[in-house]
A and B are shown apart, each in its own frame.
Chain A
Amino acid sequence: MLRMAEYAEPEIQMTPQNQVRDKTDDELVVAARGGDELAFAQLFKRHSGLVSRLGYRFFTRREQVEEIIQDSFVKAYLALNSYQGGNEKSFVSWLARITVHVCYDELRKIKKRGESRLGDLSQEEEEFLMERLRDVSAGSNVEGATISRDLSAKLLSRLKPEDRVVLTLLKQEELSIAEIAELTGWTSAKVKMRSHRAQQGLRRVLRKFV
């Protein structure tokens, strides 16, 4: 599994006349602050993959992920003056922080709009899930009986947005409590408590099918 630190890809496919081949993220940020559109385009090209990957952690549809990419880069551009920089991975962590917040906001909006109705499972899906639970308890691993992404998204949409963020970062990104705290801006104690509650919440959701 790719970790966030591995998202930053140094190779840049640019023509020599662009003269940004060897520029670091911090240098590009300084140029973008000065109104250099090419520098910002370069930052986008370098890191849109990271934002896309993070977006797909929370959303399944391509349009949603594109929306997340847009929002994240717009927010990043408007907040360029607040970027401190300093080391090689500063921009990546800074952008990841913005992206996680954009995803969190979007999850909250979805919850507020009441789109949790989409989380209702069909009879077929419920049967499949019960079957899957029996397989898991039996310890067997039936080939091809993988959980569909839709079903997974439906089940996870029943969690609170905070729980979803913490569990995703914990289970999919495999981040530590301290890393999640840094990424979300929450305290370590809050992340720890939230992860515990999120785990219990997910068990509660799944227990309905046992």
Chain B
Amino acid sequence: MWSMKNKIDDDKLDRLSDELFRALEANDTEINTAAESPFLFRRIRARIESEQLRLSEENSSWFTLMAQVRQAIPVFALLAIVALASSLYLYPWGNKPMGNAGSAAEQQTLAGLPMFLQDDEEAVEASLVGLHSYQANQPNQR
């Protein structure tokens, strides 16, 4: 009973919605008046020109940026070459760098350290040997 009433309601509402769409229809005079509105095409032309101008400006700004980047490439390359040449001049291949004292001090410090802290593999080996010998000596000490 309820579904029957609902169906009737739906039909009624659908008929009304059809009426709504029919009411929206414009007549030919209105359609033609809008389509043949004076200066409409001129306004379209103006809009097209402004759109094209905007698009070309967008493109040109990108091109300007790319051109600037292209111009900057040789300058950066020259700077890199100068930096390389100056570093080669100041620190030739045969000479030790100025930080010798620092590295000597480092070497000294390393020499002062026990062997197992200098070489990992040897340290592990030594500690294993030490452990075995310690375990072997344990009963004797008791």
Chain A residues with CB under 8 Å of chain B are 37, 41, 44, 48-49, 51-53, 55-57, 60, 62, 65-66, 69-70, 73-74, 77-78, 132-133, 136-137, 146-149, 151-153, 155-156, 167-168, 171-172, 199, 202-203, 206-207, 210
A150 to chain B, nearest CB (A): 9
What CA separation (Å) do A73 and B18 show in the bound complex? 30
* B120 CB–A CB distance under 8 Å: no
Mostly, the A contact residues are helix
Contact count band on B: 35 or more
Instruction: Output the nearest chain B residue to A171 by Cβ-Cβ distance.
Output: B21
Chain A residues closer than 8 Å to B106, beta-carbon distance:
none
What CA separation (Å) do A44 and B44 show in the bound complex? 10
Mostly, the B contact residues are helix
Q: Decide if B34 touches A60 in the complex (CB within 8 Å).
A: no
Chain B residues with CB under 8 Å of chain A are 8-10, 12-21, 23-26, 30-37, 40-41, 43-45, 47-48, 51-52, 55
Instruction: Output the nearest chain B residue to A53 by Cβ-Cβ distance.
Output: B31
Q: Decide if A52 touches B44 in the complex (CB within 8 Å).
A: no
Partner of A48, one of B17, B24, B35, B51: B35
